[in-house]
Amino acid sequence: MIDLNDVALFVQVVRNGSFAEAARQLGMPPNTLSRRVQQLEAQLGTRLLQRSTRKLTLTHSGQAFHDRCSGAVAGLIDAGQQLMTGNQEPSGIVRIAAMADFFDFFPMEWVADFLALHPRVQLDFVLSDARADLIADRIDIAFRGGTLQDSGYVGRQLIGAGNEGLVASPKYLNNRGVPVTLEDLVNHDCVSFGHPSGVTTWRLNGPNGVEEDVQITSRFNGNTAQALRKATVAGLGIALLPPTIVDFDLRAGRLVPVLPHYHRTGYGLHVLYPSRQHLPLAVSAFIGLVMEKLKVEAFPARVLPEQV
């Protein structure tokens, strides 16, 4: 019979990314922990982890085994913690991966209110436009824009896809003129996400519903929507941006619409987590906060650029 304690130790090793860190968290010698995992591999008849001096990597069998048992182990640990504390109060560290400009549309006041409501919870944000590996990076919750890939994680839509539009600053348009047709963009400076080929093509839906392509020249490239917004406000060119990024600038007159009959379907925002089973209370509480604040029906036009 498989020793369930060894299964729990294996999950903790994966969670912490190394035997040394897991052993420190568990208060046991690393050699003992390694031996227990080796015993589990022997009982299962397969290797779960590829070991090297620098990192641990799950084998295909190890990944499948971890996906099946990690939620149950987390549930047992959470149940034990609740019994020991004698209450249902969320506690512990919640590690959250989000895009670099996450707090430009998610007010910090919401975080402050959450922490005030749950004093035993600590939030650890990892902000980057690169996709996080929930297992390798020990992520409890990840926010992602774009179409969800079949990763085996649980995903919920927070913000529905809307339409990205063309915008520019009044200063730029006064200096360079207002484009009247889509083809006019060829003679304008644009602000865009960079492309490895050096050539950027925007595919837009026209007023008759037909998609049209236009190749643009971008003198300023960036890898975050906020960088492109700031460059556009500074008068560096015409940009194709989601309304959630430029709404305040449009209202303030810092930006104005360009060719308003053209648009591109944007990307929504999703929240991901490893498993829906036995979520730690702190994790489910924060997901609940986000679901409440960013309801799809409440923000039908808010969209985010797709993450790479």
Q: What's the pLDDT tens digit per position in 148-184? A: 565 567 767 676 656 789 999 999 999 999 999 999 9
Contact in structure between 134 and 272 (CB atoms under 8 Å): yes
Domains of the chain, residue spans = 4-85, 92-161+268-293, 163-265
Q: Which two tokens stand for residue 252?
A: 């303030």
Q: Give the Cα separation of 216 and 199 in Å (integer).
A: 8
Q: Does the domain formed by 4-85 have CATH 1.25.40.20?
A: no
Q: Which two tokens stand for residue 40?
A: 């589990």
Contact in structure between 207 and 165 (CB atoms under 8 Å): no
Contact in structure between 62 and 48 (CB atoms under 8 Å): yes
Contact in structure between 37 and 49 (CB atoms under 8 Å): yes
Q: Hey, how many other C-beta atoms are within 10 angstroms of the C-beta on 13?
A: 26
Q: Give the Cα separation of 190 and 188 in Å (integer).
A: 6
Least confident among 75-84, 90-99, 211-220, 261-270: 75-84
Q: Confidence band (pLDDT; 50, 70, 90) for 306?
A: very low
Q: Confidence band (pLDDT; 50, 70, 90) for 302?
A: very low
Q: Which two tokens stand for residue 192?
A: 């865009």
Q: How high is the pLDDT of residue 229?
A: 92
- What is the residue-averaged pLDDT of the chain? 82
pLDDT in tens, 9-27: 888 888 888 888 888 888 8
Q: Confidence band (pLDDT; 50, 70, 90) for 260?
A: very high
Name the CA radius of gyration of the chain, rounded: 24
Q: Give the DSSP H or E segment for 260.
A: strand 256-265
Q: Which residues contact 40 (CB under 8 A, 6 or more apart)?
A: 2, 3, 6, 7, 9, 10, 48
Q: How high is the pLDDT of residue 166?
A: 95
Q: Give the Cα separation of 169 and 235 in Å (integer).
A: 5
Topology of the domain comprising 163-265? D-Maltodextrin-Binding Protein; domain 2 (3.40.190)
The CA distances from residue 84 to 87, 125, 238, in Å, are 8, 28, 59
Q: Does the domain formed by 92-161+268-293 have CATH 3.40.190.10?
A: yes
Region 55-84: mean pLDDT is 78
Q: Give the Cα separation of 207 and 186 in Å (integer).
A: 19
Q: Give the DSSP H or E segment for 211.
A: strand 211-222
Q: Which two tokens stand for residue 12?
A: 């903790």
Region 213-236: mean pLDDT is 89
Contact in structure between 239 and 299 (CB atoms under 8 Å): no
- The answer to whether the 92-161+268-293 and 163-265 domains have the same CATH topology is yes
Q: Give the Cα separation of 243 and 94 in Å (integer).
A: 30
Q: Which residues contact 30 (CB under 8 A, 6 or more apart)?
A: 19, 20, 23
Three-state secondary structure readout of 38-77: HHHHHHHCCCCEEECCCCEEECHHHHHHHHHHHHHHHHHH
Pure H helices in 45-184: 60-85, 108-117, 170-176
Overall pTM surpassing 0.75 (yes/no): no
Q: How high is the pLDDT of residue 187?
A: 92
